[in-house]
Amino acid sequence: MPGMLKDTVKDKVVAILAEQAVLDPSEVPMEATLQDLGIDSLALVEAVFAIEEAFDIQVLFNANAPTDSEFDISTVATIVRAVENLIAAQK
Amino acid sequence: MTGRRVVITGQGAINALGASAAATAAAMREGVSGIVPLEFQDVERLQIAIGGQIRGYRPEDHFSRQELTLYDKFTQFGLLAAAEAMAQSGLVVTEALAERAGVILGTAGGGLQTQDENYRQVYEEGKNRVHPFVVPRLMNNAAASHVSMIHGLQGPSYTVATACSSSNHAMGQAFHLIRGGLADAIVTGGSESMLCFGGIKAWEGLRVMSKDGCRPFSANRNGMVQGEGAAVFVFEEYEHARARGAEILAEVAGFAMTSDASDIVMPSTRGAVRAMQGALRDAGLAPEAIGYINAHGTGTTANDRSECAAVREVFGAHADRLMISSTKSMHGHVIGGTGAVELVACLMALNEGVIAPTINYDAPDPECDLDVVPNTARRVEGVQAVMSNAFAFGGLNAVVIVKKLG
């Protein structure tokens, strides 16, 4: 069951990022950076909003200092992990 | 560009730093912060809980009950600042002048508080009717219209809405109308009041707001902080002002506006460069003539970096000699009224020789390595001309230059 939840989180996050990048989810590798995907700052803000809506969590993210935030946006994988942590923490 | 000369003969202001232009300038001199915990309904549902909110403001101290049914807060602020400016100017609106005088004010949100309150009533509280004057209260031109009515100004009057550049654009338009001979006096500036639940909730979404303070140019800046208020000036044709023996606060020397035509939120250095160069050209001044720049300086990573790069490009070696500060650190970002409130600092630089500081400056940022007048106001002599920048979302830039009357 926890494994299933994990896949769901990953799939949903990938789907959200894919939508912003105008790509098919299958074209979003876990090691990709936002730059690789062509997600700019405005698209990132939208993606964070979509993540908050999808998982009913609050992401503390400031577009002024995106890399300083606890929400690690280095790659798709780190974003998925950050979302999983937030879901666990905010349950 | 040559034409009739335009001077400023009155100023008025109300914002988190004070309830008059003099009080605002005094607070700027002292480096006071007007940023406080926000107080309004549902503020506990916001992540951003600070702003340059005017404390102790009671509408009923200034307006009658009948007036308040028609005046959104942005109109109230505009009226108060306009009354102060008109009183200082001593301008008497005769029958002949009335048709040669108008009002041009900037605002971005207009009657946003009125919208917020009434949406709450119909959507959240399920009411099926709203006050009959909701429309005339919320319309963006309400402040300009009420100023024209109270002071009997029957010439060209309108509102300019270009987000954070609104009041600079408005004052530029006033300058153009008088210079071009279409008017002899224009009451101009801007007014804003977005400090309400819906107003801040919308800004929160962009994630460019700081939770803990406005620190322009400082390495640890993390976003903008919103303010509220208004500043209004009387712009007047020079000969007209001289003939009636008016005290002249400054001459409006030049103005330019450009569009980045690139991104809806990210500023472009190129657009800012073109606006500053255009204003210098319009004023017929060399870059070396500018002693002080009141920066747009929002405290976002992107704006401050881009603005400093633009200043370096326009001013070359002189960039290291001029002073540049962001008074938003003290009064917050007054959005559509911000350029007007900041012009108070520009007039203080010219008339009192005091440069308002950038407060909350903690650590230098190599990408903002200009003299940002950190934390403490500076007394200087011989500042003859100053520039005020406004670079709005949407890439719309408006730069004003004012100088001592030569």
* pLDDT value for A66: 75
Out of B264, B266, B300, the one facing A64 most closely (by C-beta) is: B300
For B303, which residue in chain A has the nearest alpha carbon? A64
pLDDT of B125 reads 95
Q: What is the average per-residue pLDDT within B21-46? A: 98
Residue B140: C-alpha distances to residues B60, B86, B107 (Å): 22, 22, 7
Give the pLDDT score at B207. 92
Dist. CA B269–CA A76, nearest whole Å: 31
Q: Can you give the pLDDT at residue A70?
A: 80
Work out the angle at residue B50's Cα, subtended by the Cα atoms of residues B68 and B304, and round it to the nearest 5 degrees. Answer: 110
Q: What is the DSSP string of B351-375?
A: HH-EEPPB-S--SB-GGG-SB--BS
**Which residues from chain A sit within 8 angstroms of residue B207, using beta carbons?**
45, 48, 61-64
**Which residue in the block uniquely carries the two structure tokens 């923490």?**
A89
pTM comes to 0.93
B86-97 burial, b at 16+ Cβ within 10 Å, e below that, comes to: bebbebebeeeb
In the beta sheet, which residues pair with residue B401?
B254, B387
Lowest mean pLDDT among A54-58, B86-90, B152-156, B357-361: A54-58
User: In angstroms, what is the C-alpha Rg of chain A?
Assistant: 12
Nearest alpha-carbon partner for B365 in B215, B225, B212: B215
Check residue B365 and give its pLDDT. Answer: 97
Side-chain half-sphere of B124: how many Cα atoms within 13 Å?
8
DSSP code, position B122: I
Record: contact B207-A65, CB cut-off 8 A: no
Do β-strands B396-403 and B250-259 pair in parallel, antiparallel, or remain unpaired? antiparallel
The contact set of A with B (CB < 8 A) is 41-42, 45, 48-49, 58, 61-65
> Average pLDDT for residues B372-394, to the nearest whole number?
97
B222/A45 touch (CB, cutoff 8 Å), yes or no: no
The catalytic residue positions of B are: 164, 296, 333
- Average pLDDT rounded to a whole number, residues B13-31: 98
* The pLDDT value given to residue B238: 98
Inter-CA distances, A16 with A25, A49, A62, B79, Å: 9, 10, 19, 47
Beta-carbon contacts of B2 under 8 Å, excluding residues fewer than 6 positions away, are: none
- Do the beta carbons of residue B373 and residue B355 sit within 8 Å? yes
Helical segments of B153-268, H only: 166-179, 197-206, 238-243
What's the pLDDT band for A6 if we cut at 50, 70, 90? low
pLDDT digits over B89-132, tens only?
A: 999 999 999 999 999 999 999 999 999 999 999 999 999 999 99
Question: Which positions ≥6 away from B124 have C-beta within 8 Å?
Answer: none
Gap between the Cα atoms of B259 and B303, Å rounded: 15
- Please state the rounded mean pLDDT for residues B284-306: 97
Out of B205, B223, B265, the one facing A62 most closely (by C-beta) is B223
The mean per-residue pLDDT over the stretch B172-199 comes to 98
pLDDT band for position A91 (cuts 50, 70, 90): confident
Please give the order of strands across the beta sheet that includes B185-192: B157-160, B101-106, B185-192, B229-237, B6-15, B250-259, B396-403, B385-392, B290-294, B323-325
Residue A1 burial (C-beta neighbours within 10 Å; 0-12, 13-18, 19+): exposed
Residues of A in contact with B205 (CB under 8 A): 45, 49
Q: Residue A1's pLDDT band (boundaries 50, 70, 90)? A: very low
What pLDDT, on the 0 to 100 scale, is given for residue A4?
54
Name the more confident of B224 and A1: B224
Confidence (pLDDT) at B288? 98
For residue B161, pLDDT over 70 is answered with: yes
User: Using one digit for the tens of pLDDT, what is the confidence trace for B43-57?
Assistant: 999 999 999 999 999
B301 vs A45: CB contact, 8 Å cut-off?
Answer: no
Query: Are residues B207 and A42, on separate chains, in Cβ contact within 8 Å?
Result: no
- Nearest Cα of chain A lies from the Cα of B394 at a distance, in angstroms, of 13
> What is the least distance, in Å, from the CA of B217 to any CA of chain A?
13
Asked whether the beta carbons of residue B221 and residue A48 sit closer than 8 angstroms, the reply is: no
Could you say which DSSP state residue A44 is in?
A: H
**Pair of tokens at residue A37:** 């995907």
pLDDT interval class at B2 (50, 70, 90):
low
Q: B257 pairs with which residues across the strands?
A: B398
Please state the rounded mean pLDDT for residues A79-87. 94
Rounded average pLDDT over A61-74: 83
Do the chains contact at A65 and B208, CB–CB below 8 Å? no
Q: Which residues fall within 8 angstroms of residue B396, CB to CB, at 6 or more apart?
A: B162, B163, B165, B169, B257, B259, B260
Count CB atoms within 10 A of the CB of residue A10.
Answer: 18
Choose, out of A58, A64, A67, A73, the residue to mutate when testing the contact with B (most B CBs < 10 Å).
Answer: A64
Give me the residue from B207, B264, B302 closest to A62, CB to CB.
Answer: B207
Choose the closest CB to A63 out of B47, B206, B264: B206
Per-chain mean pLDDT for chain B: 97
Residue among B229, B270, B305 at smallest CA distance from B397: B270
Q: Which residues of B touch A (CB under 8 A)?
A: 47, 205-208, 210, 221-223, 264-266, 300-302
Quick one: pLDDT at residue B1? 55
B151 burial (CB, 10 Å; 0-12 / 13-18 / 19+) is buried
Q: Residue B41 has which token pair? A: 């309904």
Which of B310, B328, B223 shows the shortest CA–CA distance to B274?
B310
Contacts of residue B319, defined as CB under 8 A and 6 or more positions apart, other chains included, come to B311, B312, B370
Q: Could you give the 3-state DSSP secondary structure of residue A87?
A: helix
Task: Return the residue in B45, B46, B48, B207 with the most chain A beta carbons within 10 A, the one to mutate for interface testing.
Answer: B207
* Residue B201 CB neighbour total at 10 angstroms: 15
| Mean pLDDT calculated for residue range B373-400 | 97
What's the rounded Cα separation, in Å, for the pair B216 and B254?
Answer: 26
Q: How much is the average pLDDT of A41-51?
A: 91
Over residues B309-336, the mean pLDDT reads 98
